[in-house]
Structure 1
Amino acid sequence: MAIKSDRYTYRITWSEEDKEYVGLCVEFPGLSWLDESPESALKGIREVVEDVIKDIKKNGASPPQPFSRKNFSGKFVVRIPPEVHRSLTMQAEEEGISLNRLVSAKLSQQ
């Protein structure tokens, strides 16, 4: 199935340094587009992504999957210093909840 550029994750933000809006695509972190309006920045970055997808396919490679098409299991492994592990485990015990629930709650606050 063909991947369309409008399925990717885009962000538009203001660049104080450039005094313009910056269009970004999460799945292509090396790409950006500067423009005077948020609408133009979005249009520009989408066109750049479209061109990059065409180039990738022309070279026989596969473009990255859009996040909208990915399935997430809800599990991942993280390595932390032993003292942080100990501290979090103690906090979870004091609160009467599992370490998993405590860390999940902390991450959800971000």
Structure 2
Amino acid sequence: MAQKDDKYTYRVTWSDDDDEYVGLCAEFPSLSWLAVTQEKALKGIRKLVADVVSDMVENGESIPEPFASKRYSGKFMVRVPPDVHRKLAIQAAEAGVSLNRIASSKLSQ
């Protein structure tokens, strides 16, 4: 049974290769669960994550912090080719906004 305090990030998607739904957990990218319905795929991956977390706790391993619980500063560095940097700088100047504002706008789309 999945833990009540389970705050991990789950997704269920269709797998053409497997001809089934696949349940995934962003904090445990190596884990997946195949099932014939979306509901069973979600239930399966949640149970698998709960089992893995229990195993990790028993073995004294650190468990991943859920993305929902993490605090983000809103800052990160992105390297782009010089021509992209130039193009963004021109767009920012033409729009009368900062380069940061243009980049943030494009990333949020």
Distance 1:18 1:5, change over 3 A: farther
Is structure 2 residue 104 aligned with structure 1 residue 98? no
Quick one: percent identity of the two aligned structures?
Answer: 62
Map of 1:24 onto structure 2 = 24
> C-alpha separation between the residues in 2 aligned to 1:21 and 1:101?
39
Root-mean-square deviation (CA, aligned residues, Å) is 1.4
Task: Please give the residue correspondences for 1:1-110 in structure 2 after superposition, counting only pairs within 5 Å.
Answer: 6-109=6-109
Specify every segment of 5 or more residues in structure 1 that has no aligned partner in the other structure, as ranges. Answer: none
State the TM-score, normalized to the length of structure 1: 0.91
> C-alpha separation between the residues in 1 aligned to 2:45 and 2:55?
15
Aligned residues: 107
Aligned with 1:33: secondary structure? strand
> C-alpha separation between the residues in 2 aligned to 1:46 and 1:5?
12
State the TM-score, normalized to the length of structure 2: 0.92
> C-alpha separation between the residues in 2 aligned to 1:71 and 1:50?
23
Runs of at least 4 residues off by over 2 Å: 3-6
Specify every segment of 5 or more residues in structure 2 that has no aligned partner in the other structure, as ranges. Answer: none
